[in-house]
Chain A
């Protein structure tokens, strides 16, 4: 059995989720018989890694630093094998703008979008181009911080009047924002494990609530169905797109790809990929794995075995 350092917490806005993921992973690794050391990632990360000299690092970090390639780069430098995507996969998946370009270039359907950094508005007069942006995308528009992993800072603009405040909010989290055409429909999540797409998870509104943007981000507003009750060809297509996205972005080992299914046309659109999806007891990857007959301990064991 090996010595495994579980990297968790950190300073990102998703610290809490990461601590939960990390705690659960630690328990699973212990049950699998490994020697486990939890590290709440902080200023002394490199020093502690050298001290502990683990055989492998299980990266259970979410958001900035942990999911964007920073910690992965450090692990490479220190010479410790680690779970999940490498530096390049993390960089591409965590930057929503870069990911969109990669997907578009690979002909993976993704909703039309534009992106701006804060200096475009401060120094280049981008505000004057907003009407053209709005015309191209059409309302409603979803405005997202470019490098924020969770739902934080994601805003919905129903009309032009909502755009300024939504942009200011999104810029609170990131120096770059993405404006994306809104797809009316349901969220689908397809997790990838070791080159295989797991059963599709679908977000379903609770108790006949209208499934809209607000419901998606309200605690208790949605529940998740897995496997999703979808026509076989839709499931197959969603899994095919997810796998293609995982590959195009250069993700490794595992990831979760989020899609929307247009409720009128049935078309599938890929929104983004998460290089290190949540591993808490309500997270979607563990649910999907469970639906595929892979229990949490086995999932953790397989992710560990894929470390490079």
Chain B
């Protein structure tokens, strides 16, 4: 579900006078123009004809070597035969849905989930069931309960969609014990997992954790990777590593969609990985984003009112703020836009109308001054709304959203405040799951 109202509001976040903390952009100004020119010249000199020609649907072997280096950097590995080069990571989500999902099939996703996956799930008419997260990522125990409940209805998900590292939008990371358990659950129930890992190498602190695919050995895990965040989204280059029967179908789906991903960008990436310092470039990005994250955390501390909570990501591009009950971040965005600042309202990350009190902030795409000023402006409008709400509820107990609905169980109340959002029923103005049109 995405209301037309939210679409209209999101369109306004692109205005040039708006400080947008709504995007998901890496800072591509970091990549030296002369490097781009140099590597492209090498491509032109060495393989002009190939760069201008079609490529095999599954990708050029040159770029598969680069993909292998990225996988190895995260403790994984893959036979090039098991890799499908795609047009960005987004195409993997599309192809997995195309391959596996018939209308009405269940897909399990995290709550909240990547807003960009929502239209893909909706387009294939998946019945998306969202499972809560906390500071340690997906609640695998709740996943198991959900799977049991579905099994009682005679239903089984086609796959579980998860972003284990610095999740988009929540900014949290799946803990090692939960990774192990998730992989076990997949094995026990013969359930496919789509592991979306765009930011795994953008870690600023803490020890790297093994990928789900490396823990599973690639039997039940489809791994999604991309050069978008570690190198450039303009390249539109990603990949899937999948069990062979699934990969074969995805390959057919891709051939139907676009035959092959751009040969030119595949060769550029291959050249850059061969001649350039790709690890150094990631280090540069990490240093920059880490500083920006810190600025954002400080600004939140300074400008956001008590009662607001936020996650503290160890990497990636996003953090997730949850405001006190009674505020609605879709409406808040309208007010924020009048002060020329933007964020992503939490509802964009749910298919069932939840997320109304949360918002996603991006810290990679804008400079430190804009982060400070943007967070300050949002803090001001949040403060105004909280003050107004207090005046309005002063005369009666504050039970915004209706008191007839029981609070949902949460293992750890402290964490529940950060991430779980099933406390409020779906707003009457927003449909529940199943009532939306694709």
Contact = CB atoms under 8 A, between A and B. Distances in A.
Interface string A129-164: 011000000000000000000111111101111111
Contact of B428 (A17, A122, A213, A220): A213
Interface in B7-46: 7-9, 11-12, 15
B334 A152 contact: yes
A150 B389 contact: no
Interface string B370-391: 0000000000000001011101
B402 A158 contact: yes
A109 B99 CA distance: 56
Q: Is the interface of B mostly helix, strand, loop or mixed?
A: loop
Interface stretch (A8-16, A250-258, A261-269): A8-16
Given A130-B392, A151-B5, A168-B385, 17 more contacts: A16-B7, A121-B392, A127-B391, A127-B392, A128-B395, A155-B427, A155-B428, A161-B396, A161-B402, A162-B401, A165-B401, A167-B388, A168-B326, A169-B328, A170-B331, A213-B429, A214-B428
Interface stretch (B195-203, B306-314, B430-438): B430-438
B335 interface: yes
B391 A220 contact: no
Interface of B: 1, 3-5, 7-9, 11-12, 15, 326-328, 331-332, 334-335, 337, 385, 387-389, 391-396, 398-403, 427-431, 435-437
A165 B331 CA distance: 11
22 contacts: A13-B12, A13-B337, A121-B392, A122-B388, A128-B395, A152-B9, A152-B334, A154-B429, A160-B396, A161-B401, A164-B389, A165-B326, A165-B389, A168-B389, A169-B328, A173-B335, A212-B428, A214-B430, A214-B431, A217-B5, A218-B430, A219-B1
A172 interface: yes
Contacts of B396: 160-161
A156 B429 contact: yes
Contacts of B12: 11, 13, 15
B402 A162 contact: yes
A219 B400 contact: no
A61 to B, nearest CB: 14
Contacts of B391: 121-122, 127
Nearest to B397: A161
Given A127-B391, A158-B402, A168 B5 contact: no
Interface string A5-28: 000000101111100000000000
B399 A161 contact: yes
A82 interface: no
Contacts of A131: 395
List the 7 closest A-B pairs by CB distance, nearest first: A220-B437, A164-B392, A165-B400, A172-B331, A169-B331, A172-B335, A218-B431
Contact of B394 (A127, A156, A163, A218): A127
A127 B395 contact: yes
A168 B326 CA distance: 8
Given A163-B392, A168-B392, A150 B402 contact: no
A164 B326 contact: yes
Nearest to B353: A214
Contacts of A209: 435
B334 to A, nearest CB: 5
Contact of B5 (A15, A118, A152, A171): A152
B332 A172 contact: yes
B391 to A, nearest CB: 5
B400 A162 contact: yes
Contacts of A128: 395
B428 A158 contact: yes
A221 interface: yes
A131 B7 CA distance: 35
B5 A150 contact: yes
Interface string A101-134: 0000000000000000010011000011011000
Contacts of B389: 164-165, 168
Interface centre among A160, A168, A171 (most CB of B within 10 A): A168
A137 B66 CA distance: 67
B437 A219 contact: yes
Given A15-B8, A167-B392, A220 B436 contact: yes
Nearest to A209: B435
B435 A13 contact: no
A217 B8 contact: no
A267 to B, nearest CB: 24
A153 B402 contact: no
A168 B429 contact: no
Interface in A181-222: 209, 212-214, 217-221
A218 B3 CA distance: 7
